[in-house]
Amino acid sequence: MNFLSHFYFERNNPDENMVLGVVLPDFIKNAQKDYNLYPLKIKHLFEEEPHQISILNGWKRHIEVDQIFHSSNFFQEYTNELKQLILPSCENSPVKPFFLAHIGLELVLDHLLIVDRLININTFYHQLAGADKTALNSFLRTSSLENTEVFFKFLNRFISSRYLLSYQKIENIAYALNQICKRLWDNPFTDPQLSALTEQLDKFKDTIKDDYLSIFGYIETELNKK
């Protein structure tokens, strides 16, 4: 799941450090794609500092949510449906249709949460800004990320840009997908392909809008079993 879908499960959580932890695995990959951290394997090293425990608890929640989501029938069904819709946009493109459908589904879920006002983006950013950065720096260093400067540059830009506000418009979802693909491939889409992708995402959004909350309910039920 993407940032705002992860935040949905913590939308009433006052612990800003846990909220940061919930999106931290994706932040790490966005800051530098070859970073690989495994803090859950060394969780005993964080037990003395409450803020770091909160970050770790958020990290754990992120992993749990993604595992449930990616193994769900919902994910399989709608990824396949979106894949069929976007095949024309992937013609003569280096982008793999399944990859695009996977990420596209996650971004459309974020879009719908915003449109239906089920999350408050400003609250999300406020909590990210309020998280303890000293504890975060220690958490990252303990997790073997020795040079944290690149990460904090990314985090500060992410918070100041308020980029996720753009997800309110479906055309910006296509733009975001293109930006993600540019990290992996040169010139992933032509302008006509991007226009077609926007139309396909808009159509998909209408298909899924009456059912999308079912996956959030399902995940919450599964989390409560743990």
State if pTM tops 0.75.
yes
The yes-or-no verdict on residue 34 having pLDDT over 90 is no
Buried b or exposed e, range 190-204, using 16+ CB within 10 angstroms: eeebbebbbbbbeeb
d(CA 27, CA 216): 22
The yes-or-no verdict on residue 33 having pLDDT over 90 is no
Q: What is the mean pLDDT of residues 6-24?
A: 98
The yes-or-no verdict on residue 110 having pLDDT over 80 is yes
pLDDT in tens, 155-200: 999 999 999 999 999 999 999 999 999 988 988 999 999 999 999 9
User: What does the mean pLDDT of the chain come to?
Assistant: 95
Q: What's the token pair of residue 163?
A: 């980029």
The per-residue pLDDT for 32 is 84
